[in-house]
Structure 1
Amino acid sequence: MSAPSLLDNVRLPRWLLPADWPQRDGVPELARVAIEAGRVRSVDPAVAATPSAWNLDGALVLPCFVDAHTHLDKAFTLPRMKQVQPGLLGAIDAMLADRVHWTPADVRERASRGLQWAWECGTAHLRTHVDWWEPDAVPMAWPVMAELAQEWADRVRLEQVSLIKLPLFEDAAQAMRLARQVKATGPHALLGGFVHSTNWSENALRNLLVSAQACDLDIDLHVDEELNASAVGLQTTARILREIGYQGRVVCGHICALAAQPEAQALATLDAVARAPITVVSLPATNLLLQDAVTGRTPRLRGITLVKEARERGIPLLFASDNVQDPFCRVGSFDPVEALGTAALVAQLDEPFDDWSQALCRSDWLRREAPAAQPTLVGQGADLVLFTQADRHGWPSRTAGRVVLREGRVTQGNPAPFLPR
């Protein structure tokens, strides 16, 4: 099928349009998107329809997605497990028991399936954490992910994060060795750690951050994934980054403890985060399932972090899939739209399409360079997701029907409703 050169009557989200874009009754007017050589040449208000254009008739369109926090090494392991005890620590125990049976072929098959699902739904950039439990041995899954990053390079940008338990950074020399191993993997690798009150050490966290700085590595942390009001991983991370003058980009995922802390304490921590090079990633599905989890009892607490308060402070914020069909989350499909759908309800988000959809699309929020003040499609690759059945009032409901364009060409879905007649 030939690639379209013109998409007419496109409904783009408000966050992707300039401030002076024409509106009617507070709703942005439809757009015309011109595509040339696989890139977006221009975005202008729609005018009289062009016979040769694809007429989207107001269909919603977003840039392809970034899924900023996943676990490809664990994906699809749930069916082979017996009963899993509730909560985060129960899930960790179940995964450790299953992990002894992993092989490179097993990890590759499951991770490849996850990448295929991500590709089909419209994801262009995916970041996976890889469990790293030993100080002197690279995990079996680590080189598998590096190979997959190369194999998928022309389809999905795959990054890998070393998910290392914090005590392994207690010794500064060992922390530096770990950082150098991650650095040697390539530019798509990041240093990461699991920061939790059960393994808390400010010294180990400092060594992690300092070693990343010495090796010129970006950082991605699991932080305060708990409802313990005394957890201080996030606020300590922000303080140490300021003290050492860290210049890269740090992603902090989960940070559920903010929701359990006194308001003044939580907001003071977010004020510090806003002054640091930190992007927040919220994982609503997994956190709902793991936090406040007790057998035979309905959970009382939501477990989602303070997403509205973070956004109010200008902190870059993304939603992501996290675990998929493993002991940490029994559902999921590597579709970040599902994550936003969950967040829209549990966090009571207004205008999911016009406002919060950027939390699925802003890959610049993962880069160390300053994020774009005003994102634009112009000049970017024509990597777009066209929703064939959804409307702005109900989105992200009815989003299963999609047409995915990569460099302007259809890679998924049926574009027949849009074709010239």
Structure 2
Amino acid sequence: MHPDLNTLMARHLTGHGVTLLANARIPAALLTPEASTGLALDRDGSALADLMIEGNVIQAVLPPQTAMAERRIDFEARHVWPLLVDVHAHLDKGHMVDRAPDSGGTHAGARAATTADRLQHWRRDDLLNRMEFGLATAYAHGVAAIRTHLDSHEGQADTTWAAFADIRQRWQNRIALQPVGLVPIDAYAADHGRALADLVAEHGGLMGGVTRASGGTHGAGLEDIDGLLDRLFILAKDRNLDIDLHVDEAAKADALPHVARATLRHGYEGRVTCGHCCSLALLPEAEIEEIITLIAKAGLSIVTLPTVNMYLQDRNPGRTPRWRGVTPVQELRAAGVTVAVAGDNCRDTFYAYGDHDMLDTWREAVRILHLDHPYADAPSLAGPVPASMMGLAAGSIGPGRAADLMVLDAWTMGQVIARPQADRVIIRKGRLTEAALPSYRSLAL
């Protein structure tokens, strides 16, 4: 970012009084409906606008050169985005890859390596240290909210959820956090399933699970999948909890239609999210269309995790992968299904890389999923769409919204995607932040 612009922002963005942020280029997909009215769009689907900020709130989104203010910052048509939302993460797993057994980069290997690390290390101080590191990283990158799945096996759940409650308290008013209980769905047939449901309800979380058996793999099949799903849905319904499931994270798996039918059986339309859904992309076209119709009828929301599933799926020693591991996002969206992009794992045995950076995740998603030519509303998949899944007024820019923004040294969408945007500037509640990425040394693993 140009040093003169940084100086101007440091001087004027104090969280008090009125400031005009002039000539901000904002993707229309990241504007609230009322904010986009009357703004002309460029070839990328972005609008040039002035943002009137008072204190920590956006008071107005205006056409350029229609308002004046004593304090004015000219962004010179740079891209200005809201802070983004990660609707599928694993904060409790993060940043243990350097000490865990080598997973071989496979799903089965990752599960075994995670189990070994969990049994040896996952005590309160370890969980707090790694979750703190993850949140500090996300904060520096401009993440507004995270929904995190928490491994909730019997003997581990109480420790993990207590640590999460502590970390959520520490981070309140900085990053909004939602927890999801994560176990293989056959756990809900045991006594621990009811205890876990009560624990999730106590912490205001979501019921979650993996559509595989304990110790098994996706695609191995569950003879009693419908009965197990019924058990999960009944526990959720009795406690008025929404549901977020890991589904079909394999080349061949067929749990997704079972989840959709369970949603319809229990009247849970609009309250169920399914992550991954990888195998759907490899089915015959007619079968894909049939399942997508069922998904739309059930009102399922789908989350695709492109970076992680590119890493895990179709990995075989000495063989180049033949497919991308992602779900058919464009076909789902064309059918009216709500779809978001999320980060998933970060520097753990399921994904050895990543940095809790939703802008980077979105940039990768555009390339992997071909969400370009035109870009259309692709930015919404990391902003207002996941925010709506979490029930939050975040991930978009408009009157009455918090002045939570990121300023990019880019003038076109192509420029946003071409560079990592490591010099982005983060504004939270109308103030320029100077949060730096934490050093890996602080992990002290």
If the length of structure 1 is used for normalisation, what is the TM-score?
Answer: 0.89
SS in 2 for 1:12: strand
Verify the 8 A CA contact 2:270 2:300 in the aligned structure 1. no
Match of 1:97 among 109, 116, 130: 116
Is structure 2 residue 180 aligned with structure 1 residue 180?
no
Where does residue 397 of structure 1 map in the other structure? 418
Verify the 8 A CA contact 1:69 1:129 in the aligned structure 2. yes
Q: Which residue identity does 1:365 align to in structure 2? A: S
SS in 1 for 2:206: strand
Q: CA RMSD in A?
A: 2.5
Distance 1:86 1:149 in 2: 31
Distance 1:328 1:26 in 2: 35
Closer/same/farther in 2, CA of residues 341 and 302 from structure 1, 3 Å limit: same
1:151-300 map, 5 Å: 151-171=170-190, 175-185=193-203, 187=204, 189-195=205-211, 196-198=218-220, 200=222, 201-228=225-252, 231-246=253-268, 249-300=271-322
Distance 2:247 2:325 in 1: 13
Once the two structures are superposed, residues 201-259 of structure 1 have per-residue CA deviations (whole angstroms, 9 ceiling, x without a partner) of 2211121122111110111111111110xx22222111111121126622211110111
Distance 2:415 2:409 in 1: 13
Closer/same/farther in 2, CA of residues 27 and 183 from structure 1, 3 Å limit: closer
Once the two structures are superposed, residues 377-419 of structure 1 have per-residue CA deviations (whole angstroms, 9 ceiling, x without a partner) of 11111111111246322322322221111111111479xxxxx
Where does residue 133 of structure 1 map in the other structure? 153
Distance 1:383 1:23 in 2: 22
Question: Cα distance, 1:6 vs. partner?
Answer: 1.0
Q: Which residue identity does 1:396 align to in structure 2? A: I
Closer/same/farther in 2, CA of residues 25 and 325 from structure 1, 3 Å limit: closer
Aligned-residue identity in percent:
33
Is structure 2 residue 107 aligned with structure 1 residue 88?
yes
Once the two structures are superposed, residues 288-325 of structure 1 have per-residue CA deviations (whole angstroms, 9 ceiling, x without a partner) of 11101111211111101111112212222211111111
SS in 1 for 2:321: coil
Question: Cα distance, 1:174 vs. partner?
Answer: 5.4
Closer/same/farther in 2, CA of residues 390 and 79 from structure 1, 3 Å limit: farther
SS in 1 for 2:240: coil
Closer/same/farther in 2, CA of residues 183 and 342 from structure 1, 3 Å limit: same
Verify the 8 A CA contact 2:101 2:116 in the aligned structure 1. no
Verify the 8 A CA contact 1:60 1:386 in the aligned structure 2. yes
Closer/same/farther in 2, CA of residues 275 and 70 from structure 1, 3 Å limit: same
Closer/same/farther in 2, CA of residues 118 and 25 from structure 1, 3 Å limit: closer
Distance 1:119 1:413 in 2: 7
Where does residue 84 of structure 2 map in the other structure? 65
SS in 1 for 2:179: strand
Distance 1:241 1:20 in 2: 40
Q: Which residue identity does 1:7 align to in structure 2? A: L
Where does residue 383 of structure 2 map in the other structure? 361
Match of 2:361 among 339, 342, 351: 339
Question: Cα distance, 1:49 vs. partner?
Answer: 8.0
1:18-57 map, 5 Å: 18=36, 20-23=38-41, 28-47=46-65, 50=68, 52-57=71-76
Closer/same/farther in 2, CA of residues 21 and 208 from structure 1, 3 Å limit: same
Distance 2:332 2:107 in 1: 24
Distance 1:250 1:74 in 2: 23
Return 265-274 or 32-41, whichever deviates more: 265-274
Distance 2:200 2:115 in 1: 22
Verify the 8 A CA contact 2:269 2:300 in the aligned structure 1. no
If the length of structure 2 is used for normalisation, what is the TM-score?
Answer: 0.85
SS in 2 for 1:112: helix
Closer/same/farther in 2, CA of residues 288 and 25 from structure 1, 3 Å limit: closer
Question: Cα distance, 1:27 vs. partner?
Answer: 5.3
Verify the 8 A CA contact 2:27 2:47 in the aligned structure 1. no
Instruction: Mark the runs of 5 or more structure 2 residues left unpaired by the alignment.
Output: 1-9, 212-217, 437-445
Question: Cα distance, 1:101 vs. partner?
Answer: 1.6
Closer/same/farther in 2, CA of residues 258 and 109 from structure 1, 3 Å limit: same
SS in 2 for 1:396: helix
Distance 1:296 1:307 in 2: 29
Distance 1:278 1:27 in 2: 28
Where does residue 13 of structure 1 map in the other structure? 27
SS in 2 for 1:225: coil
Verify the 8 A CA contact 2:302 2:339 in the aligned structure 1. yes
Closer/same/farther in 2, CA of residues 25 and 273 from structure 1, 3 Å limit: closer
Once the two structures are superposed, residues 334-374 of structure 1 have per-residue CA deviations (whole angstroms, 9 ceiling, x without a partner) of 001222222222211215865211111124431469x99x9
Distance 2:55 2:65 in 1: 23
Where does residue 134 of structure 2 map in the other structure? 114
Distance 2:46 2:185 in 1: 47
Verify the 8 A CA contact 1:9 1:46 in the aligned structure 2. yes
SS in 1 for 2:197: helix
Verify the 8 A CA contact 2:39 2:49 in the aligned structure 1. no
SS in 1 for 2:157: coil
Distance 1:413 1:60 in 2: 20
Question: Cα distance, 1:124 vs. partner?
Answer: 0.9
SS in 2 for 1:301: coil
Is structure 2 residue 144 aligned with structure 1 residue 124?
yes
Question: Cα distance, 1:184 vs. partner?
Answer: 1.3
Verify the 8 A CA contact 2:314 2:323 in the aligned structure 1. yes
